[in-house]
Amino acid sequence: MRNGKVVINEKGEAYQFERDTKGNIIKEIGFDETERTYERSLAGLVQRIQ
């Protein structure tokens, strides 16, 4: 995952997130492997979550 970070919980499960060049989170994958993508406006505000 580019510009990403991973957090591992006590069960060994991973939570991952990816940031854009401005540092905004644009994608995350939860401990349950649910994937969310964030579309942002030019101002960086979340416009849509998929």
pLDDT in tens, 1-50: 567 899 999 999 999 999 999 999 999 999 999 999 999 999 999 999 99
Q: How far apart are the first and last CA of the chain?
A: 18
Which pTM value belongs to this model?
0.77
Q: What is the reported pLDDT for 15? A: 97
Residue 42 structure tokens: 């030019």
Per-domain residue ranges of the chain: 4-49
